[in-house]
């Protein structure tokens, strides 16, 4: 993403953006319509580029040095070659593009994934849910909407 000019890399967490959202698959709070105003007013969307095996360690490090609010994404299918077809196992670029799309920035989302071989596949696989998520009126509506496209997890 950075090579294509679609992201700014920060190698020191103390230099990461201070206001906005951190894409965190464990946050429990969805990225959605309620967050649009913050991004429209200049808040950042921060995504970590790390292995799924190191995600907790990486999230902990950035959380200690920023006040970014954690957000997770509604269920989407991965199109990247490592996790193709797996719900919620998005690559960093897929998660970043999905958040942009959900916040009404479809052109920017497509630009982010245009340099990846799986970019078009991601939008094809998730066409209907992405369009519905973008049209949701609130994060609460979005939370329920995802289960119209995907199976609700069994919670004991």
> Average pLDDT of the chain?
86
In this model, does residue 86 exceed pLDDT 90? Answer: yes
Domain residue spans of the chain: 13-148
Residues ≥6 apart with Cβ < 8 Å to 120: 113
* pLDDT for position 67: 77
Sign of the alpha-carbon dihedral angle for 1, 3, 62, 58 = positive
In this prediction the pTM is 0.85
End-to-end Cα, the chain, rounded Å: 39
């Amino acid at each position: 993403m950075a090579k294509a000019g679609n992201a700014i890399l920060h190698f020191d967490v103390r230099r990461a953006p201070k206001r906005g959202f951190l894409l965190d698959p464990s946050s429990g709070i969805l990225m959605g319509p309620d967050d649009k105003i913050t991004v429209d007013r200049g808040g950042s969307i921060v995504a970590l580029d790390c292995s799924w095996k190191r995600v907790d360690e990486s999230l902990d490090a950035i959380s200690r040095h920023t006040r970014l609010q954690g957000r997770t994404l509604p269920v989407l299918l991965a199109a990247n070659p490592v996790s193709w077809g797996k719900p919620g196992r998005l690559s960093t670029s897929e998660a970043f593009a999905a958040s942009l799309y959900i916040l009404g920035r479809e052109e920017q989302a497509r630009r982010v994934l245009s340099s990846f071989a799986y970019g078009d596949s991601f939008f094809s696989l998730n066409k209907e849910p992405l369009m519905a998520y973008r049209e949701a009126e609130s994060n609460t509506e979005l939370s329920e909407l995802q289960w119209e496209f995907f199976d609700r997890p069994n919670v004991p």
